[in-house]
Amino acid sequence: MAWLWEQLSGWQQDQVEAAAKTELARLEGLLALPGGAPQLLADRLTDRLAETGGEAMVTSPYGWLIRRGLVQRRSCTDHRCDDGIRLDTGAECENCGNVIHLRRARRAKITAQVDRELPGLSERERRRVLEEQLREQVAIEAENLVWRQEQARAEQARRDAARAAARERAERERQEAAAAEAVRQALPCEDCGRDQAAGLWVCRAPHEAPRRRPAPAGSWQRRGAPARSG
């Protein structure tokens, strides 16, 4: 991969780096255990490069990395599928096997339908009608696949946004807590006025623990209750 990287301009390197970071974050969200995304992406790039025939066969390094090397290629509708392999488990994608089975069943169904509705066709005409209906069905399924993929991308974007919002919220709460603690630590001693005493009495004997000024007498009483007389 080093040779491909060296062929890129500075702007192209920035774009590829940003695309890689985005894909790493997305892959991390698919894994049950964190930390495996870098190896997954490295394996994908290695496989795609071997599929191409090596670095010497890549004529456009930037286009290859952005459109082929880094991108996930689903063979079915499962968002965890990449070239027929499950990203989360590394095993073969079961859904891809189901797709092959469904395609065979679809062909058998359409063949039976053509034979039933057009029994007098010659073998050549029968084959033509069959292929035509199969193409129509494939086109319909392709449209459905595009729709499902769009829905999957929208759902993934929603999850990513929710995770980002949670991280921002946690960071904001951490900063607020740190600011509140800094203000508390800056409070002067309630007895001598010494700074940075967190409101405690620091002018005490060495054996005494820090303590706050006691509440005024009678503060334990309920608001509006008459004071107890001697």
pLDDT tens-digit profile of 28-45? 888 877 788 898 898 888
Average pLDDT for 161-190 = 86
* Amino acid identity, position 222: R
Which residue is it, tokens 């890549």?
A: 58
- Per-residue pLDDT, 118: 84
Task: Say which residue, 111 or 212, is predicted with more confidence.
Answer: 111
Structure tokens at 118: 């057009």
Q: What are 176's two structure tokens? A: 């607020």
Question: Whole-angstrom Cα distance, residue 160 to residue 136?
Answer: 36
Cα 212 to Cα 227: distance, rounded to the nearest angstrom: 24
Residue with more model confidence, 28 or 90: 28
pLDDT score for 16: 93
């095993």: which residue's tokens?
A: 91
pLDDT digits (tens, 9 = 90+) for 94-117: 887 766 666 677 777 888 888 888
pLDDT at 93 > cutoff 50: yes
Rounded to the nearest integer, the mean pLDDT of the chain is: 79
SS in 3 state form for the chain? CHHHHHCCCHHHHHHHHHHHHHHHHHHHCCCCCCCCHHHHHHHHHHHHHHHHCCHHHCCCHHHHHHHHHCCCCCCCCCCCEECCEECCCCCECHHHHHHHHHHHHHHHHHHHHHHHHCCCCCHHHHHHHHHHHHHHHHHHHHHHHHHHHHHHHHHHHHHHHHHHHHHHHHHHHHHHHHHHHHHHHHCCCCCCCCCCCCCCCCCCCCCCCCCCCCCCCCCCCCCCCCCCCC
Specify whether the CB–CB gap between 210 and 204 falls below 8 A: yes
List all residues 6 or more positions away from 25 whose beta carbon is below 8 Å from its beta carbon: 37, 160
Enumerate the β-bridge partners of residue 81: 86
Confidence at residue 204, expressed as pLDDT on a 0 to 100 scale: 56
pLDDT higher at 91 or 33: 91
Residue 102 in contact with residue 108, Cβ under 8 Å? no
Local confidence band at 222 (pLDDT 50, 70, 90 cut-offs): very low
